[in-house]
Amino acid sequence: MSLRVRACIKCRQYMVIHPDNPVNQVDIKKFERKHTGHTIMTSDINEVKGVYTPFTNNGNGHSSDENV
């Protein structure tokens, strides 16, 4: 099974979706709020990795996909 991500086409940022993780669901909502008005897609991580950058919402360089 491949990982799915939410990705902002305008900003070229993505966030990995962990459907069973409530903290990740909150982070996804933050990602979507930050990118309101932008085109956001759900995609396979292999389609965006290397082209898009991981989204960080806490400013310290950690993203929710670093534990993958």
Q: Is the entire prediction scored with pTM above 0.75?
A: yes
| Predicted pLDDT at 34 | 95
Count of structural domains within the chain:
1
Reported as a single tens digit per residue, the pLDDT across 17-60 is 999 999 999 999 999 999 999 999 999 999 999 999 999 876 43
Structure tokens at 61: 């360089």
Alpha carbons 3 and 59: distance in angstroms, whole number: 24
Domain hosting 11: range is 4-54
Residue 11 forms part of a structural domain: yes
Tokens at residue 7, please? Answer: 């990705």
Is residue 59 one of the residues assigned to a domain?
Answer: no
Whether 63 is covered by a domain: the verdict is no
Nearest to 10 by CA among 60, 55, 63, 68: 55
Residue 60 counted as domain residue: no
| pLDDT of res. 2 | 83
